[in-house]
Structure 1
Amino acid sequence: MDWSMDAFLKRVYEDTEARVKLKREHLLPIERREQLRNALKRALGEFPEREHPLAAVLLDRTDYGGFMLERIAYTTMEAVHVPVLVLVPKAGTGPWPVVLACHGHGNGYYDAVGLDPAGAELGDPGIHNRFAVQLVRAGMLVVIPEIMGFGARRIAEELRTTPNYSSCGTLSAQLLMYGRTLAGMRVFEAMRAIDYISGREDADAERIGAFGFSGGSLIAAFASGLDERVKAAVLCGWTNTFKGSILAMHHCIDNYLPGILLSAEQPDLAGLIAPRSLFVESGEKDPLFPVEHVRQALSQLEETYAGWGASERFGYDIHPGSHEIAGDKSIPWLLRALSQGVKDMS
C-alpha cells in the first residue's frame, strides 16, 4: 500500500483544473481578465494605502562612463524605506523610455548592475548578466528598487547572522498572519516605484516598461497585470506552469499564493498583461522552470494574445542557457515596444 501523499495532490490539482475550466467557458477576454484580476488581488492579500508620500531623496550620483548611477531613497508606506538605484543614459536627452527592473533572488539590487556594495564592477556578471546596464546602454532609463527581503532590506537579526540568505521565509510566514503575502507587498512596492517613475522629469511616463528575472518576473508580471501604466513587459526565467515548476519541486515560499489555483494557472496570470506588449525569455536548460512547461505556457499566451487581436505584441526567446538572463533579443524588443506609439499599446 502506498502511504505517500502524491496521489492526493495530483487529484486535488486535476479536480481544481476541471472546475476552473468550467468557470471560464463562454467568457469574453475582457470578462476573463476582470475575473483573473480580482482573483490575483485576493491571492496577493491586502495592500497598504498608497497615499503615503514617497518623499524621494537623492543620496549620491556617480559617473560610470556610459551612464550615471543615482542612489535614491523613498518611502513606500509608513516606516518602510527603500533604497533604489537609477541608471540614467548619458547619450541623448530625456525624457527617456523608462524600465522598472526587478532583480531575482540573490544579494539585492546590485545584482542587476553587476556591482559590489562599494560600487565596484564584479568580474563575474552572474545570472543577472548586468541586465540593467544593458538596458541603460540601449537608451532606457532604469529604476531598480531593492526588493523587500533581499540585500539591506532583510530582518535585522538574519542580516547579522546569515548574511548570504534572504528573509523570504520569515517575512512570508509573518505576513500570512495578517492576511498578506510577501508577493503582495512586493507587487505593491513595484506599483509605488511606478508612482516614483511617473514623477521624474527625465522619464517618459507614457513609455514605462517592466523587466523581471526569476522571482523578479513574478513581481513584474503581477504588477504589470494590475497596473496599466506599464506598456510593455519582459519576463525572464519564470514563465511556466505552476504544475510544471512551483508544484513540481522546491521553490522559495514567496512563490506560493493562497487559493490562486482555484482561479488561474501561471500563464493565465501572465496573460493579464494582454493586449499590452509582452516578451518571454527562458533558458532551454533551466532546471527551475523546465522548458517543456515553458512551451506549454507560450502556447497558451499565444492563444490569449490572438484572442485580443494582438498577436504581434507577444514574442519570446528560448535561449540555449540555464536559469539566467540572455538579453540579446529581449532588450532590443523592449526598446522597440516602448518606442512605438503608445496609443495602440494600451
Structure 2
Amino acid sequence: MSMSLTSRLVWAVTAAIGMTAWLTTPLAGGQESPAAEAAARHAAVRSALRQMLGIPANRCPLRPEPRGQIEHDEVVIEKWVWTIEPGSRTPALIYRPKHPPEKMPAIVLTYGHGGSKSSWQYHYAGLLYARLGLVCAAIDPIGEEERNRQGRMGTRAHDARWASDRADAAGRLIMGKLVFDTMRTIDYLLTRNDIAFERIGVAGNSLGGAVASYVAAVEPRIRLAIVSGWAYDDITLDTKLCTRLPNERMRRLCDWPTFAALAAPGCALWIANGDADVIIDRRGDGQAWRGTRRAVREASQVYAALGGAGKIKTWFEPGGGHRPYFAYKVSLEWIHEHLGAPDWPLERIRDLPAVNAGQWCDRYGIQLERLYGTPLHWRGATLPDLGIRPLSPRRLAVLHPDEIGRPEYTLEGWLDLIESHGTGHGTHADDRSLRTAATGHGHPLHAQHVSRQSLVGDASQAEVAVGFDPRRAPSGE
C-alpha cells in the first residue's frame, strides 16, 4: 500500500529517531503540514541536544576589542578579543581579502585535537578562504595556544579526564563549550557590516569535524557545514571523552540519520573523508564509512522532503587517510555552490594547481606530529596552490604577554567559574528530563539579537611568542 507524502515524511522523521514515543506524540495546535511538523520535531530534538551539551541559555555582551592587524599577500588578518560568556574570553583572528568586492560570506573554523588558530592546516585554510573572497574566523579552542595556561600549542589539555569530569559535574560538556564558543563567533560575525549574514558556515577536521557536526545540528543560522575526518556512526562512541560522552547521550535522543538531518533544509552538509582513514575507522574494515553513507542516504530523504534536495553529500578520497579535507578543492567547490566565492567562478577553482602538504610544510620548516606526519595522513594531502606563505605563531599572536595564563582565557579558569557559579544545565540529565526538553517544556536556547557594530580602528599589535610543544597523540583524534 502506497503512503502519502505526509505519512512518508512523518515516518522518515520518527523512524530515524527510533520511533521514540515522545516524538511520535501529536503536536499541539491541530493539523500541520509535513514540513511544519518535521521542523517542529527537529526543533524539539535541537532543544534537547542543547540541554544535553550544556549550552548556556543566555548570552552576555561580546565586548569585542581590536588588537591590531597584519597585511599579508593580499589578505588582512585582524586580531580581536571578545567575551564568550562571563569570565571566559577568546583571542581570535579574522582573515579577509584586502579589497573585498562586496559583503562577504564567512566560515568559522573548528579544530582537531591539539589544533588551534596557528596550526598549519587551519592557518592555510584561513589564508585560502580569504584569497577566494571569504571571511574566515579562527579562535583558539579552550585549553590550546593562547587559551592554554602556558601559551602552548598541541597540548590536548581538554582531553584530560579531570577536565571532562569537572565540566560534566558542573552541567557542561567540553563538546558543549567548543560548540558554544563557535556559536558566539557567529554572534561576532553578525556585528560586522562587511558580512553577508545569510551566508555563514563552519568547517573543521577530526574533533573539529565532530564540533562542526554538532553546530550544524543545533545552530539554525548557518548555511554550510564541512565535516571532515569524522563519521556519523557508532564507531565514534569508542573515542576520547570530549566526543564519546556527547555522542553516547545524543544516541539516547536520536540516531545518526536524524542527527544529520537536523541541519535540513537550510544548511548544506558536506562530509569529506579518506576511505583509508584508520584514525576514525579504527578497525580498518570500513564500518565508519558504511554507517556514514547509510546515515546520509536516509537523511537525504528528509532534506529532499523539506526542499533541500542535494544539500547533503559524502565524499571520500580513495586511499586517503586523516587529512584536512576542509581545505581540498572539492570542498572549495561546495563552498562556491552554497556560500559563494566572490570573483571566483567555479571553473577557476577547478583549474587551481595543487601542492603536496608535506612538501609545503617542509618548504617552510613546519614540523608535523609523528602520528599524522605520514604519507597516509597529513603529509599525503593535496591542497589548492595559491602560493600561500605561512606566518609564525608569534606573528599571529593576539594577547599581550602578561595576559597569557589569566583565568578568563584558560580551561582551568573556565572550570573554576562554572563550578562556582553553576552555569550549566545538568548534562547528567536522565531520559525523562531529555524527553521533557524535547517536547518543548524545557528552556531551549533562543538566539538573542546582537546589534551590529562597525569595525573600529586598529590598536597596537601584540606580539607574543607561543611555544610549540609537539606532544605525540597517544591515540587518534
* TM-score, structure 2 as length reference: 0.58
The residue matched to 1:333 in structure 2 has which SS? helix
1:39 equivalent in structure 2? 48
1:53 equivalent in structure 2? 61
Q: 1:165 to 1:217 in 2, by over 3 A?
A: closer
Contact 1:87 1:141 in 2 (8 A): yes
1:186 equivalent in structure 2? 178
Considering Cα pairs closer than 8 Å and 6+ residues apart, tell me whether 1 or 2 has the greater RCO.
Answer: 2
Q: 1:19 to 1:338 in 2, by over 3 A?
A: closer
Match of 1:110 among 118, 121, 134: 118
Aligned residues: 303
**Structure 2 CA distance for aligned equivalents of residues 195 and 18 of structure 1:** 31
The residue matched to 2:157 in structure 1 has which SS? coil
Pairs within 5 Å for 1:176-325: 176-241=168-233, 243=234, 245-247=235-237, 249-257=238-246, 259-276=249-266, 277-287=268-278, 288-289=280-281, 290-320=288-318, 321-325=320-324
**Structure 2 CA distance for aligned equivalents of residues 18 and 331 of structure 1:** 30
The residue matched to 2:63 in structure 1 has which SS? coil
User: What amino acid is the match of 1:181?
Assistant: L
The residue matched to 2:339 in structure 1 has which SS? helix
The residue matched to 1:234 in structure 2 has which SS? strand
1:120 equivalent in structure 2? none
Q: 1:177 to 1:79 in 2, by over 3 A?
A: same
The residue matched to 1:302 in structure 2 has which SS? helix
Larger radius of gyration: 2
1:10 equivalent in structure 2? none
**Structure 2 CA distance for aligned equivalents of residues 133 and 335 of structure 1:** 16
**Structure 2 CA distance for aligned equivalents of residues 162 and 131 of structure 1:** 18
Task: Tell me the CA shift for residue 226 of structure 1.
Answer: 2.3
Tell me, yes or no, if structure 1 residue 88 matches structure 2 residue 96.
yes
Contact 2:115 2:153 in 1 (8 A): no
The residue matched to 1:40 in structure 2 has which SS? helix
Q: Which runs of 5+ in 2 are unaligned?
A: 1-14, 27-36, 282-287, 342-477
Percent of aligned pairs with the same amino acid? 23
User: What amino acid is the match of 1:144?
Assistant: A
**Structure 2 CA distance for aligned equivalents of residues 95 and 19 of structure 1:** 39
1:140 equivalent in structure 2? 134
**Structure 1 CA distance for aligned equivalents of residues 155 and 181 of structure 2:** 23
**Structure 2 CA distance for aligned equivalents of residues 228 and 152 of structure 1:** 29
Q: 1:301 to 1:66 in 2, by over 3 A?
A: farther
The residue matched to 2:146 in structure 1 has which SS? coil
Contact 2:216 2:263 in 1 (8 A): yes
The residue matched to 2:251 in structure 1 has which SS? helix
User: What amino acid is the match of 2:41?
Assistant: R
Contact 2:144 2:153 in 1 (8 A): no
- Runs of 4+ deviating beyond 4 Å: 24-28, 159-163
Tell me, yes or no, if structure 1 residue 76 matches structure 2 residue 74.
no
Q: 1:295 to 1:129 in 2, by over 3 A?
A: farther
**Structure 1 CA distance for aligned equivalents of residues 97 and 73 of structure 2:** 10
1:208-241 CA deviation, whole Å, 9 max, x = no partner?
1111222222222222332222122221122321
The residue matched to 2:172 in structure 1 has which SS? coil
* TM-score, structure 1 as length reference: 0.78
Contact 1:138 1:332 in 2 (8 A): no
Contact 1:225 1:270 in 2 (8 A): yes
The residue matched to 1:109 in structure 2 has which SS? coil
The residue matched to 2:49 in structure 1 has which SS? helix
Tell me the C-alpha RMSD between the 2 structures: 2.7
Task: Tell me the CA shift for residue 171 of structure 1.
Answer: 2.8
